[in-house]
Amino acid sequence: MTSFSAAQRSRVTMLDVALHAGVSKASVSRFIGDDRALLSDAIALRIEHAINELGYRPNQMARGLKRGRTRLIGMLVADIRNPYSIAVMHGVETACRQHGYSLVVCNTDRDDEQERQHLAALRSYNIEGLIVNTLGHHLDQLLELQREMPLVLVDRKVEPLHSDLVGLDNPAAVRMAVEHLEQQGYRDVLLVSEATDGTSSRLERLESFKAEIARRPALTGAVLELDGALQNHLHTFLAKAGPKALFCANGIAALACTQALKALGCHLFEDVGLIALDDLDWYPLVGNGITALAQPTQAIGASAFDCLLKRLRGDTEPTRTLDFLPQLILRGSTTPCRSELAREKRQR
């Protein structure tokens, strides 16, 4: 095992290729870049051979330094362990690779100080564009970055940042959920959400929910934020009469609710219906499965990158907001008919 302290020195460079091929660096540069058309076939061939024999790889750092194009995209994620973030990131990454970009992922763990550090780091790497999926405190840094490069928000708005936004059509999603619950015969709906820490999508879902409930005389609705008392609150909710259901505003809420319901000894999902935003792979495993509104995360990620690319290519259109629609995935947790039957059977 050798030391790597100065490993870079040993790498084959453009000069090596030029010497090996008996041409100038400029020609090699042209071969590497988009000016290959300017080269005679003979020279191009010699260069190609030299490159292959030496295993030459152009140094992106140097290219970036010269041209100002690093082919690097940064992504700031609030919580890398949230399946939604991962799914979107997967979409972004795929799009990046397809267009010759690489992705620098920065997870903030919902921590402002980490967000600050990462933003500083990203700037220092001359990334060409930034995808933001955090609360976006440190507005000053973000604004500074935005002056230097295109920026696109994912899922959550950051108010003073006037930039493209890609995410879910929250009002539509909430309408789909509430409407589905109503159709299935539920009359009392409890929206369970993570704490409203300023995340715009959470707020939108909450507001839309209130509006949706107000529009539907047949329904009663309430809102609950996740906290230590979740189980108690659910206990109270379960004690109510009539067909009732939970609407979990994201995967985290769905996990917490399912856990709490289980702890309460609730028979899933006969005592209470459940519909959740986001579709996680374990939803089918609980009770008769959890009905979900799946977000098109792949498309969201790809679109985010696409926005960046458009801006990088000089698009100066006004900022856009891309709202995607979720897909209703029907499972057992919202079929009270069958559930009621089952309950009666048990009670007999």
Partner DNA sequence: CTGTTAGCGCATTCAA
Partner DNA sequence: TTGAATGCGCTAACAG
Going from the C-alpha of 109 to that of each of 102, 195, 281, the distances in angstroms are 22, 16, 23
Element (DSSP H or E) covering residue 321: strand 321-324
Window of 17-25, 143-151, 207-215, 251-259 that interacts with DNA by CB under 7 A: 17-25
For residue 1, the Cα-to-chain-centroid distance in whole angstroms is 40
Give residue for tokens 């920065």.
106
CA dist., res. 290 & res. 280, Å (int): 9
Per CB under 7 A, does 9 bind DNA?
Answer: yes
Query: Closer to a second copy at the Cβ: 123 or 216?
Result: 123
Shortest Cβ 113–DNA spacing (Å): 24
Q: Which is nearer to a second copy, 61 or 229 (CB)?
A: 61
Query: Is residue 6 a contact residue for DNA (CB under 7 A)?
Result: no
Confirm if 12 and 19 have CB atoms less than 8 A apart: no
Rule CB under 7 A: choose which of 8, 183, 316, 347 binds DNA. Answer: 8
CA distances from 166 to 137, 152, 169, 307 (A): 19, 7, 9, 9
- Which of DNA, a second copy, none sits in contact with 26, Cβ below 5 to 8 A by type? DNA
Q: Which does 33 bind (CB under 5 to 8 A by kind): a second copy, DNA, none?
A: DNA
DSSP 171: H
CB of 93 to DNA, least distance (A): 24
C-alpha 59/C-alpha 14 separation (Å) is: 9
Residue among 245 and 307 whose Cβ is closer to a second copy: 307
Of 2, 3, 40, 316, the one binding DNA by CB under 7 A: 40
CB of 28 to DNA, least distance (A): 7
Tell me how far, at minimum, the Cβ of 246 lies from DNA, in Å: 53
Determine the size of the site formed for a second copy (CB under 8 A).
Answer: 74
CB 182, min distance to a second copy, A? 27
Site for DNA in 47-86 (CB under 7 A): 57-59, 62-63, 65-67
Listed as own residue / partner, the contacts of 211-220 with beta carbons closer than 8 Å and 24 or more positions apart are 211/171, 212/174, 212/175, 212/178, 212/179, 213/178, 213/189, 216/178, 216/182, 218/182, 218/187, 219/178, 219/181, 219/182, 219/186, 219/187, 219/188, 219/189, 220/187, 220/188, 220/189
Q: In the set 1, 42, 218, 285, which binds DNA (CB under 7 A)?
A: 42
Q: If contact means CB under 5 to 8 A according to the sort of partner, which of a second copy, DNA, none does residue 107 touch?
A: a second copy
Q: Does residue 43 interact with DNA by CB under 7 A?
A: yes
CB 286: neighbour CB atoms within 10 A?
19
Residues 6+ apart with CB under 8 A from 199: 135, 156
What is the pairing mode between strands 129-133 and 164-168?
Answer: unpaired
Shortest distance (Å) from residue 119 CB to DNA: 17
Task: Give the nearer residue to DNA in terms of CB position, either 38 or 80.
Answer: 38
Segment lying near DNA (by CB under 7 A), choices 19-27, 78-86, 135-143, 196-204: 19-27
Q: Which stretch binds DNA (CB under 7 A): 32-40, 255-263, 278-286, 293-301?
A: 32-40
Question: Which of these ranges, 80-88, 130-138, 202-210, 219-227, lies near a second copy under the rule CB under 8 A?
Answer: 80-88
Question: Exposed/middle/buried for 118, CB within 10 Å: 0-12, 13-18, 19+?
Answer: buried
Q: Closest approach of Cβ 33 to DNA, in Å?
A: 5
**Which residues make beta-bridge pairs with 292?**
276, 329
Query: Which residue's structure tokens are 């008392």?
Result: 229
